[in-house]
Amino acid sequence: MSELDKTIMQNALREFDANANALLDLRKNFTKELEEGLADPSKSSLKMLPSYLNVPTGDETGVYLALDFGGTNVRVLKVKIWKHGNYKILKKIEYPLKLEGKYDFTSKNATGEQLFEFIAKLIQLTLEGNTEEILLGHTFSFPSEQLDLNNAKLISWTKEFQTQGVEGKNVTELLTNALLKRNLTHVKPVAIINDTVATLLAGAYTHANTLIGSIYATGHNTCYLEPDYNGEPMILNLESGGFSKVEQNTYDKLLDKTSEKPGEQFLEKMVAGRYVGELYSLVLKQALKSEENFSFDSLDLCNIAQNTDVKKIIKEKAQYEIQDKDEENLFIKLANNILTRSALYIAATYLGIYYHIRKLPTIAIDGSMYVKNTFLQTIIDENLKKAGGNIRSFKVYDASALGAAIAAAKAEGK
């Protein structure tokens, strides 16, 4: 067993320490990029994608199908909504997008057609033989150029997805073709939205003044209600995971180099669940002089940061026996610094939006990193308070499904 190089650990701790200056710069740069992006999106690392939606009135009602695609699992749900936050999930089917040894719809060996045929099969399962017409809202959690509320072209995959034949394509067409192949013509896709937009819709359905929707999960991204988009209010998907005016440390650069899309998604690669474990793995690989790559994930990191099973996880994932309390503290501190930086940077982007809209917003947040980790929620909340006013954030449950149903209701003119 190799020794732990404490100097490497100490240096890494410093590299991941988010200091006040870095946070202030991030916040200011975020507002600047946002405003530059509003004037000309090609000049900004924020994509400013229009959703063709305003926030809901709260009066939307009906029964809809919701397709939630974009993370580790794909879900199809039948959802009933009946005004002001009241909803019921009538049926839910959930499958992983990859199953070790069986299939992997996210790899470059899979095609868009195969992926959407798989999705159509799940839709059929959800319907349980029902052939009445039903409208479908699709939460598609990738950067997409929206042609209208129901048509969106995937700009490029993020979160390390590699499925062939989807980039540049109209995703609704792929879905419609797959539905047709299964004779599911009574299923009518009517709206396609980003998961951040779904979160904002779901949040605003219950909490007035919700102006920002955000996901803190496998990926990270935020949208907000722009009060004046060519004279109209419009929810804009920032694709803030692509924000690039943020300084990368040694490990951020290393991670980016070996990622699927080097040079893209700078902020996401620093903060999102898909990557935080990888950053930890990269430091430990150096500190333990290992030839092998480690595979810590966000769950390991959250456990280590909270002093749960530290020895066991390090032994399991890095084959290293922690020698004493000092060493154990280094492992815990590193996990903490990586996660704290993640939450602080995300909070700084929310403040960046606030300094543009200049209205105290309520922020709706969903995603496993946020929902499952109260210590990350606390870090975000405390930093929002620093802005002086009463900026509140709250958890939204079932945001993707509820948002998709609300978008479908809006498409129907309800």
Residues at the interface with ligand GLC (CB under 6 A) = 70, 141-143, 158-159, 194-196, 215, 217, 219-221, 239, 241, 268
| DSSP single-letter state for residue 338 | H
Strands 73-82 and 61-69: antiparallel
Whichever of 78 and 159 has its CB closer to ligand GLC, that residue is 159
How far CA 330 is from CA of 10, 59, 344, in Å, comes to 8, 52, 21
Residue 239 CB, shortest distance to ligand GLC, in Å, is: 6
Residue 220 CB, shortest distance to ligand GLC, in Å, is: 6
Three-state helix/strand/coil letters over 336-393? HHHHHHHHHHHHHHHHHHHHHHCCCCEEEEECHHHHHCHHHHHHHHHHHHCCCCCCEE
Whichever of 238 and 304 has its CB closer to ligand GLC, that residue is 238
User: Do you know the residue count of the chain?
Assistant: 414
Whichever of 288 and 365 has its CB closer to ligand GLC, that residue is 365
The set of residues, in sequence order, having a beta carbon less than 8 Å from that of 93 and lying 6+ positions away, is 75, 76, 77, 122, 125, 126
Bridge partners (DSSP) listed for residue 364: 213, 394
Whichever of 298 and 336 has its CB closer to ligand GLC, that residue is 298
Region of 388 on the Ramachandran plot (φ > 0 left; ψ -120 to 50 alpha; else beta): left
Residue 213 CB, shortest distance to ligand GLC, in Å, is: 9
* Helix or strand holding residue 94 (H, E): strand 87-96
Residue 240 CB, shortest distance to ligand GLC, in Å, is: 8
Whichever of 146 and 196 has its CB closer to ligand GLC, that residue is 196
Whichever of 49 and 79 has its CB closer to ligand GLC, that residue is 49
| DSSP single-letter state for residue 170 | B
Within a 10 A sphere around the Cβ of 388, how many other Cβ atoms?
A: 8
For the chain, the maximum distance between any two Cα atoms, rounded to a whole number of angstroms, is: 66
Bridge partners (DSSP) listed for residue 388: none
Within a 10 A sphere around the Cβ of 109, how many other Cβ atoms?
A: 12
Whichever of 110 and 215 has its CB closer to ligand GLC, that residue is 215
Burial class of residue 414 in the structure, from the number of CB atoms within 10 Å of its CB (0-12 exposed, 13-18 middle, 19+ buried): middle
State phi, psi for 227 to the nearest 5 degrees: -70, -25
Residue 361 CB, shortest distance to ligand GLC, in Å, is: 18
| DSSP single-letter state for residue 17 | -
Whichever of 70 and 203 has its CB closer to ligand GLC, that residue is 70
What gap in Å lies between CA 13 and CA 268, rounded to an integer?
Answer: 20
What gap in Å lies between CA 284 and CA 238, rounded to an integer?
Answer: 33
Whichever of 187 and 272 has its CB closer to ligand GLC, that residue is 272
Whichever of 240 and 377 has its CB closer to ligand GLC, that residue is 240
200: nearest Cα among 381, 365, 405 = 365
Residue 152 CB, shortest distance to ligand GLC, in Å, is: 11
Whichever of 138 and 220 has its CB closer to ligand GLC, that residue is 220
Residue 30 CB, shortest distance to ligand GLC, in Å, is: 15
How far CA 345 is from CA of 47, 61, 232, 262, 279, in Å, comes to 18, 37, 30, 21, 16
Bridge partners (DSSP) listed for residue 365: 214, 395
Residues 271 and 345: beta-carbon distance below 8 Å: yes
**Nearest residue relative to ligand GLC (C-beta):** 219
